[in-house]
Chain A
């Protein structure tokens, strides 16, 4: 079964540094998402992306965050200047277009630790 893959599985970064989290969505999917989950808390929506532009973003997704689809396979989340509170699991997801009964498929996440 095709799956969403994320790299790295764990990223440790100093506060204030930039970090890029990478995702390879399922190949025929056209909608892409990022979510995050702070330890012990709910999974929170960050942003959705379609046709090379952001469809929707949450309040969490401020100017420090950006997303990009640099080529035909990767989907990235960049945090420009990390803060301690950015420490969380970050999940990428993707879904097909046009069929209302198709769910979002999630990767296994990148654990981001800010020191």
Chain B
């Protein structure tokens, strides 16, 4: 599984756009990029997944450059409830009972 590097923590304010970048220099051809969110005392929750270019859903956008060696999770107009740990995961499509290897994630703190 490709190693990922993301900031340990980030701070922002309500109403701001937050961008969390993840580096994955050794990403393989068949790897997807997946982001999960975890609130305290809750299970990780899938946010978004992509392979290349841009993916957008009702929660976030994921930007992936052509070389796929990094990706950026973009959270538009964050609120206090977006305070959580965000995990960047890189691996093959999770279609065959593949385990998820979680890193330490990015602890995002949103202030009023």
- A77–chain B nearest beta-carbon distance, Å: 14
- A92–chain B nearest beta-carbon distance, Å: 8
User: Inside 8 A of B32's CB, which chain A residues have their CB?
Assistant: 100-101
- A72–chain B nearest beta-carbon distance, Å: 19
Q: A50 to B98, alpha carbons, bound, how many Å?
A: 11
Q: Does A18 sit at the interface, judged by CB under 8 A?
A: no
Listed stretches B9-17, B21-29, B36-44, B59-67; interface member = B36-44
- Indicate whether A106 sits within 8 Å of B102 (C-beta atoms), given known contacts A48-B97, A101-B32: no
Q: Is the interface on chain A under 10, 10 to 19, 20 to 34, or 35 or more residues?
A: 20 to 34
Please list the residues of chain B having a beta carbon within 8 angstroms of any beta carbon in chain A.
32, 34, 36, 38, 41-46, 49, 92-104
25 A-B interface contacts by CB (under 8 A): A33-B97, A33-B99, A33-B100, A43-B44, A45-B101, A55-B97, A56-B97, A56-B99, A91-B43, A91-B44, A93-B100, A98-B95, A99-B93, A100-B32, A100-B93, A103-B36, A103-B49, A104-B46, A104-B100, A105-B46, A106-B43, A106-B44, A107-B43, A109-B42, A111-B41
**Besides the known contacts A33-B100, A99-B95, 19 further A-B residue pairs in the complex with CB atoms under 8 A apart:** A4-B43, A43-B100, A89-B41, A91-B43, A91-B44, A95-B97, A97-B95, A98-B95, A99-B93, A100-B32, A100-B92, A101-B32, A101-B49, A103-B49, A104-B100, A106-B43, A106-B45, A108-B41, A109-B43
Question: Can you list the 10 inter-chain pairs with the closest CB atoms, starting with the nearest?
Answer: A100-B93, A106-B43, A103-B46, A45-B99, A100-B95, A43-B102, A55-B97, A48-B97, A31-B97, A91-B43
